[in-house]
Amino acid sequence: MSQDTIKSPALAAVIGSPVRHSLSPTIHNAAFRHTGLDWLFVVWDVPSGLAEDALQAMKTFNLAGLSVTMPHKTAVAEAVDQLSPEAGKLNAVNCVARQGDQLVGHNTDGAGFVASLKADADFNPEGKSCFVAGAGGAGRAVILALAQAGAARVGIMNRTPAKAQAAADLAGEAAEIADAEAADADAIGNFDLVVNATPVGMPHFAGQTPFPTTGLHAKQLVVDLIYQPWETPLLKAARAKGIAALNGFGMLVHQAGVAFELWTGIPAPVEAMTAAVSSKITVNSDQQPHL
């Protein structure tokens, strides 16, 4: 074979630390295979403080796409050439795409969340009342996306009031702050969509729910962003009342799908991505995978 015929695949990567258990290679390599793209997705463990170097490497090595996870989401937001409106508002980037010689930072969590509501529950937030417990990275992305999707009300409850206020600012006039100390079961019953964006429900919370579940009822949709365990105490309580309930797996897959589309410009093969990552979650059910 002559040198001229040797062609390297386009390279994409995830940076984070720790990043060893990342599901990103599984999900994106499945998407590349399924669409016939000669692309390869790899994992780079990049220590805290070196996000800017990683972005420079993205330029040097002509990387086609970058996923970003903890602890680099804010540092990357500050170092890219441009930010999408969402990433700018959230000051957090989970996906970097190229635009000519510019690196553009995006945040695909909110779009992934809204896409999963549509795909998995046929739920459109437009004109709806939505409640979100938690105002960290995931909660903020969800709150912003719900407001952008036209939610009439976005109720926000968070343990630290200042963070609830900062998240409320993302939702503008739709925002309502709920008192976390006096979490009221009846008030939660007044929302069409109820979302848990706190870690309460993960194994170390021993059966706890993030808010009282007594006011939940069958006309609501309940979503827990946690997907490990597959069914949290909140989802269990909701399903016991006949309430439609989703875990965070759909958001996980769809936010990766949005990243794939930003990098490649072609529709994400969501079914193939779902199949690839589901088998991995089952196999590694004792671990806490992340993208």
Ligand X SMILES: NC(=O)c1ccc[n+]([C@@H]2O[C@H](COP(=O)([O-])OP(=O)(O)OC[C@H]3O[C@@H](n4cnc5c(N)ncnc54)[C@H](OP(=O)(O)O)[C@@H]3O)[C@@H](O)[C@H]2O)c1
Which single residue is written with the structure tokens 């945040």? 107
Decide if residue 135 touches ligand X (CB under 6 A): yes
The smaller minimum CB distance to ligand X, of residues 165 and 190, is found at: 165
Distance CA 259, CA 272 (A): 15
Between CA 259 and CA 275, with CA 254 as vertex, the angle to 5 degrees is 110
Contact with ligand X (CB under 6 A) among 69, 107, 198, 220: 198
- Per CB under 6 A, the segment of 18-26, 55-63, 184-192, 198-206 that binds ligand X is 198-206
Q: Is 11 or 244 the residue whose CB approaches ligand X more closely? A: 244
Examine residue 160 and tell whether it contacts ligand X (CB under 6 A). yes
Q: Is residue 25 close enough to count as binding ligand X by CB under 6 A?
A: no
CA distances from 219 to 181, 186, 238 (A): 26, 14, 11
By CB under 6 A, the residues from 213 to 272 that bind ligand X are 225-227, 248, 251-252, 255
In angstroms, what is the minimal distance from the CB of 112 to ligand X?
7
Active-site annotation holds for 89: no
233 contacts 207 by C-beta, under 8 angstroms: yes
Residue 16 structure tokens: 């984070």
Enumerate binding residues for ligand X (CB under 6 A): 109, 134-139, 158-160, 163, 197-200, 202, 225-227, 248, 251-252, 255
